[in-house]
Structure formats: C-alpha cells, structure tokens
Amino acid sequence: MPITSVTKDADALTMTVVAEFHATVERLWEAYADPRQLEQFWGPPEWPATFTRHDLFPGGRSHYWMTGPDGTRSAGYWEFLAVDPGRSFEVTDGFADEHWSPSPEMPSMRMRLEFDETAEGSRLTTTTWFNSTADYHQLIEMGMEEGMAAAMGQIDAVLEDLSSFAAGKGVQTQVLSDVQVRITRVIRGTPEQVRQAHRDPDLLRRWLLGPEGWRMSECQVAQQVGDPYRFAWEKEEDGSEGFALYGELKELDEPYREVTTESMEGIPGEPTLNEQTLTPVAGGTLLTLVITYPSAEVRDIVLGTGMTEGMETSYARLEEVLTASPRT
C-alpha cells in the first residue's frame, strides 16, 4: 500500500495523506497530468472515473464522473487555483450537478498535492482543507479516507504501464459516452509550439492535410473568441472532390485550451463541439481533443470514415514541421 500516513486534525479542519512510490517524480506527475492515466486510479476500483475535461493550468477546470456498480453516476469538478509544473498543484475539489456546476447539496474543499523526490522514488503529500466542522465530519463519515486509500492503491499499476501512454504510440480514441469521444496524441514539442502550429496559416498548410495527395485550398484561422474559421481541401492532382470544415472559436486560454464548433459544409445538422487541451508531459505535449457529437448515430458515422487515421497522418506531419522549425 503506497500510503504511509494519514493525519486528521479536526481543530485545523485538515486531512493530510502521504504516499510513497517507486517511480520518479516526473512519472508520478505525468500520471496526474494525463486524463487517460488519472481516470485509472481517481476513484475506488468499484467507482471508476471518466474525465471529460482536464486543464492542468491556473484557472483551468477538470470535469469527471465516477460510475458505481449499478450504473449510478457521481459527478465532480476541480478548479485549478495554482500549478507549479512537476512539483505541486492546488484545486477546489467538489461535487457537481449535470451541468458541471458545484452541487448546492454537497460541500467543496481545497486540496493541495505536492510531489517530492525521495531516495527510493517519489512522495505525494495530499492536504485537504475543509470549509467547516460540519463539512469535515460529513466527508470523513462518507468514507473520504477509505476512498483515497483505495484510489492510491491503484497508482502503482499505472506507473508501471509505460507503453500505453508513451510518445510515439500514435492517436488513441476512447468513447466516453453516447455522444463524446476523446482523442489523444503525444506530440514532440512544447504546448507553445503545438499551439502556434494550429494558429499559423503557413504552418497549418504544411501539416493539416489528412491522407497523401490532398492540399489545403483555404485556411481562415480564428484568432479571437467569436471569430469564424474555415478550412478547405482538394485533391492535388486536379482540385476535385473538395470539402470544407467551418465553425466558431468559443473559448481560448492560450496556449493550453481552445473550444470550437465544427460543421462540414453542405452537410445539414447541428455542429460538433471540439475541446482541445495541450498539456506538457514527458516526451512532448499531450494533445487531448474531446468531441461532443449531436447524437450517437452521428458519432458512429464520423468515426467510421477513418477520421482518426487521417488525424494520425496529420499529427505525424506536425511533428516533422516542429522538428524542422526553429525552437522557441
């Protein structure tokens, strides 16, 4: 069991949990930075977590739900108050309603995680501050200590699994719900470099191409919230079979997060919502794209087109572009 001590202080309204691991601080931090890894242990084994958003930067948010044995869902959120990459982060941690707003019936708490190097590997110190004596007793009685012990007991297996999350593995696609899909890819480059490659038309024309034999015929980039964008492609050989994607930039937090709508020109129906997050990890930047479709039917049609294979081709080109470009 990784946990070495649990200290509860009813007077100070705190609980401090210390756990030690035979892994580097960098590896332990990455397990918390990557939503694919985090959801493998955030929550007891019988209540596995699914993260639909994970913004590891000050002002960012995480959204997740835990699913019980009978299918019951319990939603939660983090609001990131402070982040010292590789060393610590602090969040407001609470229960959420179906719209990811704080649940009015349940308390929230402040939680700080500190990552330190040890002679054997790394130490994680998690300190929780409760807002009142009533909150302290309610959450302790609900089994918060036991839940944390069960969750941390799963971390070792995640830390040992290096191949599933390594750079160079390529695009991974995970179905999160009937209408949501998460696409992930570790890209060799910093978040700033990856973001620049998404906003510079000259760079976009070099990598956002899909299969071989296509070129980008139009590249209108949205630079500010509210701006429209339009990307069009055609066959290099004769300019035939052209198509275009368009939408609007809805949210932007440089360089880590952007949210856009997306529609295909000439195809009726509601747009998708694309939430892209860039997170620095070992080996580069973890690009996470959560796509919300209008329906499960649309989701399956789009996935059946070979979309992710085309994305992998483009992201491989993106790495080549970043390798050839001057480092910033």
- Structural domain boundaries, residue 86: 3-165
- pLDDT confidence of residue 325: 65
Q: What is the pLDDT of residues 251-274, one digit of tens each?
A: 999 999 999 999 999 989 999 999
User: Order of strands across the sheet with 172-175?
Assistant: 172-175, 180-187, 284-292, 272-281, 257-264, 243-253, 228-235, 214-220
Q: What is the pLDDT of residues 179-230, one digit of tens each?
A: 999 999 999 999 999 999 999 999 999 999 877 788 999 999 999 999 999 9
Domain match, 232 and 292 both: yes
Is residue 125 pLDDT above 90, yes or no? yes
Domain match, 85 and 7 both: yes
For residue 35, name the pLDDT band (cuts at 50, 70, 90).
Answer: very high
Is residue 328 pLDDT above 60, yes or no? no
Q: What is the pLDDT of residues 127-173, one digit of tens each?
A: 999 999 999 999 999 989 888 888 888 999 999 887 778 767 789 99
Domain stop point among 141, 165, 189 = 165
Q: Measured between alpha carbons, how far is 137 from 128 in angstroms, rounded to an integer?
A: 13
Domain match, 206 and 290 both: yes
Is residue 316 pLDDT above 80, yes or no? yes
Count up the domains in the chain and report the number: 2
Non-local (6+) Cβ contacts of 23 within 8 A are: 121, 122, 159
Q: Measured between alpha carbons, how far is 229 from 274 in angstroms, rounded to an integer?
A: 13
Domain match, 283 and 235 both: yes
Domain match, 19 and 160 both: yes
Domain match, 121 and 221 both: no
Domain match, 194 and 120 both: no
Cα end-to-end distance, the chain, whole Å: 42
Domain match, 122 and 147 both: yes
Domain match, 177 and 113 both: no
Instruction: Give the CATH number, domain containing residue 94.
Output: 3.30.530.20
Domain match, 229 and 301 both: yes
Q: What is the pLDDT of residues 4-28, one digit of tens each?
A: 999 999 999 999 999 999 999 999 9
Domain stop point among 109, 131, 165 = 165
- pLDDT confidence of residue 199: 96
User: Order of strands across the sheet with 108-117?
Assistant: 3-9, 14-21, 122-130, 108-117, 88-95, 73-84, 61-67, 49-54
- pLDDT confidence of residue 1: 56
- pLDDT confidence of residue 240: 75
pTM: 0.90
- pLDDT confidence of residue 82: 98
Non-local (6+) Cβ contacts of 208 within 8 A are: 216, 231, 314, 318
- pLDDT confidence of residue 152: 86
For the beta carbon of residue 174, count every other beta carbon within 10 angstroms: 14
For residue 75, name the pLDDT band (cuts at 50, 70, 90).
Answer: very high
Domain match, 227 and 291 both: yes
Domain stop point among 118, 137, 165 = 165
Domain match, 155 and 180 both: no
Is residue 310 pLDDT above 90, yes or no? no
Is residue 298 pLDDT above 90, yes or no? yes
Q: How far is CA 279 from the centre of its chain?
A: 8
